[in-house]
Structure 1
Amino acid sequence: MSEKLVELCTKLQLPVTANSWSTVADQAAKNNIPYSAFLERLLEAELADKHLRSSQTLLKLSGFPFRKTLDEFQFEAQPTIDERRIRELMNLSFLESHENVLFLGPPGLGKTHLAISIGMEAISRGFKTYFISANDLVTQLRKADEDNRLERKIRTFMKPRILIIDEMGYLRLNTSSAHYLFQVISRRYERGSIILTSNKSFGEWGEILGDSVIATAILDRLLHHSRIFNLKGESYRLRERRLSSSTNA
């Protein structure tokens, strides 16, 4: 009987039930637990395991350069950030309305940390999330275009529920690269959320994209449904270096 149950569970891809049904059955018998409650326990354990494995897979495919949570963010070091508004993002309501989230500010203020922490929360709830720098994004699209598979590559950037584009503006793009970026943002417009980080103000985008017309078109789509956060203050790295220097002095 037990071998047959294990065989059936294996065929149905129920590994937790296959491994634990006997133990749960013994507990149910000792405590006179109803059959329905016994089955419920097995299914809950199976669902929890499936969710865990799914989250682990999504994390592996996310492209995150590191993993950070919001609890690790030092709000006290960045008093200009509205903590309440940031924490509201964690309910992920912006996904339902396909809103974008933009973090602007100088390097070292935690823009990427915040973007990844939202992505981590999304993955924990089963939403596919993908992280890529703006430069890598256009590089991959250019290579795909050269290989006559641009459309297929663009579709891969349409699949994630959240696309995180990091470091917009750290490197200047030429006009053709800006066109690639526009295609992704345009295709995701009102279809999927983008989280974008940039060290440049919107007024500088024409310069970093090499074309003010494309910059306007990109911003028009990004800003139409968006939540914008302007970060100001001292870089974490510079602050830690300064504190370290004063301690050692």
Structure 2
Amino acid sequence: MSEMQDQVIRQHCKALRMPSIGGQFRRLEETAVREKQSHVDYLEALLTAEMEERESRAIARLLQEARLPRMKTLEGFEFDRSGVSAAQLRGLAEGGYIVKAEPVLLVGEAGTGKTHLATGLCVAACRQRRRVRFTTASGLINELAEAAHANQLSRALGRWERLDLICIDELGYVLLAETACELMFQVIADRAEKAAVIVTTNLPFSEWPQVIPNPRLCKALIDRLTDQAHIITTGVDSYRFRCTTAQRKAAKP
């Protein structure tokens, strides 16, 4: 195959938006000749390379749009150092709770792995080509408050409602004003039985009135979040502290 032919093929692939084929057709041709593949086998290899690259780019875009605090996966979580069931989390990672619009609540003290597990579920959802958004409770409230101030609240709520999965991290760390609670409730109520939500909190439900002073609103929020929910307790002993201690011990000569 001449250099001119190579250039023509690459130009065609660029015009057709098939960059992977344009970049790999020569290498795959050499493989096909060496392994005595048929023309159909070669064509299949080209198309497979293009599809895999498109899948990879789509997932990378979804991960970026999810705004994850760090790229942490369930594969990187040391379940043997926590009291969390690996089987349960891996089962959730398959995505059934998203299809059924079931909430996932991670309840435990600081450092017990709540955010890591929540992030891991978000990554798994992105790999399944689902639209995901990660935020802290304060970040969500601030965004909605700014939208309300700009008379854009309905539009902002619509963006949150269209997502396949949202994760609200650190609910319960600070006292919430009633207006803030109402904004968060709108997001969660709009998703009830329609779309999935993950929430991490350091407070048992009996202590939520400490940060949500309106008892009626607090009860309504708990009712929405716990209906058909997967409630996972991560415990009180810091998983993060144990991992750090173990790493330091391993690093000693």
Give the TM-score taking structure 1 as reference length: 0.90
Indicate the residue corresponding to 1:25 in structure 2: 29
The one-letter amino acid of 1:35's match is H
For structure 1, list consecutive stretches of 5 or more residues without a partner in the other structure: none
CA deviation after TM superposition for structure 1 residue 127, in Å: 1.6
Aligned match of 2:64 in 36, 50, 60?
60
**2:176 corresponding residue in structure 1:** 173
Instruction: State the Cα RMSD in Å.
Output: 2.2
- For residues 68 and 20 of structure 1, the distance between their equivalents in structure 2, rounded to whole angstroms, comes to 31
Deviation string 1:94-115 (CA, Å, 9 cap, x unpaired) is: 1111111000111111111110
Alignment pair present for 1:50 and 2:51: no
Secondary structure at the counterpart of residue 225 of structure 1 = coil
Per-residue displacement from partner, 1:83-103 (whole Å, max 9, x unpaired)?
A: 322221121111111111000
1:160 aligns with 2:163: yes
Matches within 5 A, 1:1-249: 1-79=5-83, 81-239=84-242
Contact 1:178 1:210 in 2 (8 A): no
Of the structure 1 ranges 22-31 and 213-222, higher mean CA displacement relative to structure 2 is found in: 22-31
1:30 CA drift (Å):
4.7
Bigger Cα displacement from structure 2, 102-111 vs 54-63: 54-63
Q: Report runs of 4+ in structure 1 exceeding 4 Å deviation.
A: 237-245
- Match of 1:21, as an amino acid? F
Sequence identity percentage: 28
CA contact (8 A) 2:81 2:242 kept: no
Distance 1:162 1:190 in 2: 12
C-alpha contact (below 8 Å) 1:206/1:213 kept by paired residues: no
The one-character-per-residue Cα deviations of 1:21-64 (angstroms, maximum 9, x if unpaired) are 23323433454422221111011101111111112212222211
The letter for the 1-side match of 2:11 is E
Distance in 1 between residues matched to 2:74 and 2:35, nearest whole Å:
42
CA shift in 2, pair 1:86/1:23, >3 Å: closer
Amino acid at match of 1:84: A
Distance 1:33 1:83 in 2: 43
Task: Describe the shift of the 1:207–1:76 C-alpha distance in structure 2 as closer, same or farther (beyond 3 A).
Answer: same
TM-score (norm 2): 0.89
Counterparts in 2 of 1:55 and 1:142: CA distance versus 1, 3 Å: same
SS in 1 for 2:161: coil
Note if contact 1:168-1:199 (Cα within 8 Å) is conserved in structure 2.
yes
Deviates more, 1:168-177 or 1:54-63: 54-63
The Cα of 1:236 is off from its aligned counterpart by: 3.1
What is the CA distance between 1:231 and its match in structure 2? 2.2
Counting matched residue pairs gives: 245
State which drifts further: 21-30 or 154-163. Answer: 21-30
Q: Is 1:205–1:212's contact at 8 Å kept on the other side of the alignment?
A: no
